[in-house]
């Protein structure tokens, strides 16, 4: 007769907590500025104790090609090399993002003060907010991220 091994009465369950990771796209035709925003996002993630992943793009076309990775936020320059006819404008990129997934939060950013004249139009296209490229950029970006409707826990 074969010996039957006794099974333990209790099972040991290992619970693995999945870390929340916020994904960001930064779209600006100025590589230096992209790197500044990327460093800000990293610092904000450390301060609010959340993992972040940031991808930078120098044009809207590259951003749209990768949009299927579903970033939580896209920080989008108002002016994307407006002198280049084959480059998508901020409007074009915003419209394409929202057609693909209306839940992606798109924050329009610009150093131009005239964008305030276009705020209502961008909101109609689905922009989540607006940031100026100024001395308060870090604090305003952090506030937009922490005040968003994304569950950060």
pLDDT in tens, 31-70: 999 999 999 999 999 999 999 999 999 999 999 999 999 9
Give me the mean pLDDT over the 82-99 stretch.
Answer: 78
Rounded to the nearest integer, the mean pLDDT of the chain is 83
Per-residue pLDDT at 105 exceeds 90: yes
Task: Determine the pLDDT at residue 15.
Answer: 44
- Vertex 23 angle, CA 148 and 27, to 5°: 95
What is the architecture of the domain spanning 21-146?
A: 3-Layer(aba) Sandwich (3.40)
Give pLDDT, residue 142: 96
Model pLDDT, residue 16? 43
CB atoms within 10 A of CB 30: 14
């Amino acid at each position: 007769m074969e010996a039957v091994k006794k099974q333990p009465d209790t099972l040991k369950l290992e619970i693995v907590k999945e870390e929340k990771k916020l994904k960001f796209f930064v779209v600006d035709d100025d590589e230096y500025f992209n790197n500044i925003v990327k460093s800000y996002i990293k610092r904000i993630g450390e301060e609010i104790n959340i993992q972040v992943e940031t991808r930078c793009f120098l044009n809207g076309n590259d951003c749209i090609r990768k949009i299927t990775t579903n970033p939580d936020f896209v920080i989008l320059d108002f002016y994307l090399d407006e002198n280049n006819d084959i480059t998508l404008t901020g409007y074009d990129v915003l419209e394409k993002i929202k057609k693909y997934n209306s839940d992606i939060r798109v924050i329009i950013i610009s150093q131009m003060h005239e964008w305030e004249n276009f705020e209502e139009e961008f909101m109609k296209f689905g922009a989540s907010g607006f940031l100026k490229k100024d001395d308060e950029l870090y604090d305003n970006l952090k506030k937009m991220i922490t005040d968003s409707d994304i569950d950060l826990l």
